[in-house]
Structure 1
Amino acid sequence: MLKRLQLPKGIGFVLPLLLIIIVFFNIPLLYMLGLSLFSKSLTLEYYAEIIQNPVYIQVLANTFKIGLITAFFAIILGYPLSYWMTTLSQSKQIFAIALIVLPFFISILVRTYAWIVMLGKNGIVNSSLLKLGLIGSPIQFLYDEFGVYIGTLNILLPFIVLPLFASMLQFDNRLLLAARSLGAKPFTAFLKVYFPLTLPAVLSGGSLVFILTLGFFVTPAILGGGKVPMVATMLNTLINYYPDWEVAAGISTILLIVTLIFYFLFQKGGRNET
């Protein structure tokens, strides 16, 4: 007699989530891929159209550039902040984490418009500088790439600070004492011991910020003033205004493939350092 098939324990708890992922993620993803590859038959004409159109290539390149620069500055700002948090007492660390997590309870739209109140031509910063006589005319902070970087960093900085902070808390400080006992100066001990052991968390957090930046829509649209083309805004135009679903699906597929390549490069770099 055939043995009765035994399902893994707890499979009943996993199946609903698995079905949700298949129905709401995998199937739409496969449908998008199908749109980009099939017309009446298998074709690459939509990808050829994307490659031959310099506008699409420019927008894709600009999106990846903004993503990389945002991830870079998120690391530059997040690393010292995370390290400083590890030097605090436990109660102060809890307070610092609460301040970092608190913005998640505020709408991204509200936080984006708050930057207009702060940095707009008639905003608080420009008004204060004008009253102090430090400038003769308002400074253009927003409605260009600089404004996009400010808004994006503000929203995504917690995504690198929190994993970095968790990684740094697990670091064994006796390793630094051992390095110092062997004659290493504080900066050398940090560079040779502390930084390499926290680098995997840096790369993981940086890759997360990079990937999230690629799909941003609200912040670039508002703080960029329509002057900073990114993939999300271009897809909105292709789908809702033209519409050209096939080309939009092709661009989305290219974005997905390049994102996966960058992700594996980040992860490989992190594994090489461990």
Structure 2
Amino acid sequence: MHAKPFAKRSVGSRQTSAREYGPVLSLLLITPLILLMVGGFLYPVGKLFWGSIFVPEASFANYARILQEPLFLLILCRTFENAFVVSASALLLGYPVALAMARVSGRTAMLIAACVLIPLWTSVLVRSYAWIVLLQRNGVVNNALIDTGLTDTPLRLLYTRGAVMAAMTQVLLPFMILPIYSVVRNIPGDLARAARNLGAGSIQAFIRVTLPLSLPGVTAGVLITFILSLGFYITPALVGGPSTLMMSTLIGQQTTELLDWPFAGALAAVLLAATLLLVIVFRRALALNKGFKLG
């Protein structure tokens, strides 16, 4: 009487094990990724780090220079501050868009998706030049302000910190919207309706149901946007000025203009270490709550 169920379980177990790869095959499958990581990331970063200490001789003088000259610490702090502001701005602007994408359907959903994805398919260089067209002295914004009588002379909008953060927010906004959207669209709508049936208002249902369940997407979006902001190069170089110099631009100057590769390696190592430390602290802080564990 028990033979048939046992046979079914055996067949099922064989089918399940057939979907699993052995250690050798798994290693072969991930070998291209390992080679890409070693050749495209670990080797060049390791060479930069090695050169910052042992070229021309074993010394930590390049790192001491960063600590001794306040300008470099100021640029490092400014880079992290700009990344924080850009991430917060992208979250405030992107969360409602992601929520709308997940809740609407039909042509409205297609229109919102097009507004999010088409800029993502456009070159960062083109989008940065578009901000130059908008913010220059004879640009669209200044001409509109003068035509409406709000100002008599063109304002200095380009090559300012505000222009850099606005342009970076616009460029990185899709990286905030898409992770949040992927999580929000999988939240059952019945949960919010059940909360309203139990007496909660729309705002209270959102705060107590939708927002907590969407936090994994918010976490992913904030991390992606923040890390990309730290290493952004093209937009700050085109839209910003000397007063908005960031670590990526400074590293580029050291390598292409001053040809000081050891010091550029030290700057890159400090930026990488600070980024990794911040990400680890962020993940550990979220892991204190079981609902926000990553991985």
**Structure 1 length-normalised TM:** 0.90
Question: What is the aligned-residue identity percentage?
Answer: 33
Following superposition, the deviation at residue 70 of structure 1 comes to 0.4
1:66 is matched with which residue?
82
Instruction: State the Cα distance separating 1:175 from its structure 2 match.
Output: 1.9
Label 1:169 to 1:7 Cα distance change in 2 as closer, same or farther (>3 A).
closer
Letter in 2 for 1:51: L
Q: How far did 1:109 drift?
A: 1.5
Retained in 2: the 8 A contact 1:204–1:266? no
Q: Which residue of 2 aligns with 1:178?
A: 194
Distance verdict in 2 for CA 1:235–1:259, change over 3 Å = same
> Aligned equivalents of 1:23 and 1:116: distance in 2?
36
After superposition, the C-alpha distances for 1:86-119 in whole angstroms (9 at most, x for unaligned) are: 2211443233223211123322112111112122
The structure showing larger relative contact order (alpha-carbon pairs under 8 Å, at least 6 residues apart) is 1
Aligned partner of 2:125 in structure 1 is 109
Higher CA-based Rg:
2
1:241 aligned onto 2:257: yes
**Alpha-carbon deviation of 1:270?**
4.3
Unaligned runs of 5+ residues in structure 1 are: 1-5
Instruction: Return the match for 1:123 from 136, 139, 142.
Output: 139
Deviations 1:182-237 (A, max 9, x none): 33232222212211111121121011111111111111111113331100111112
Give the structure 1 partner of residue 215 of structure 2: 199
Q: Which residue of 1 aligns with 2:150?
A: 134
How many aligned residue pairs are there? 269
Instruction: Name the aligned partner's letter for residue 191 of structure 2.
Output: L
C-alpha displacement of 1:165 = 0.8
Whether the aligned pair in 1 keeps the contact of 2:90 and 2:169 (CA below 8 Å) is yes
Q: 1:254 aligns with which of 270, 275, 295?
A: 270
SS in 1 for 2:208: helix
Deviations 1:34-75 (A, max 9, x none): 122324665332211211111110110111110011001010
Query: Partner residue of 1:80?
Result: 96
CA distance in 2, matches of 1:172, 1:241: 55
SS at match of 1:248: helix
Query: Superposition RMSD on alpha carbons, in Å?
Result: 2.0
Asked if the contact 2:120/2:174 (under 8 Å) is kept, the reply is: no
CA contact (8 A) 1:203 1:267 kept: no
Number of the residue aligned with 1:37: 53
For the pair 1:147 / 2:163, whether they are aligned, the reply is yes
The answer for the alignment partner of 2:109 in structure 1 is: 93
What is the distance in 2 between the residues matched to 1:43 and 1:175?
60
Give the structure-2-normalised TM-score: 0.84
Contact 1:179 1:189 in 2 (8 A): yes
Q: Is the Cα–Cα contact under 8 Å of residues 103 and 185 in structure 2 kept in the other structure?
A: no
Structure 2 residue ranges without an equivalent (≥5): 1-21
Q: Which residue of 2 aligns with 1:3?
A: none
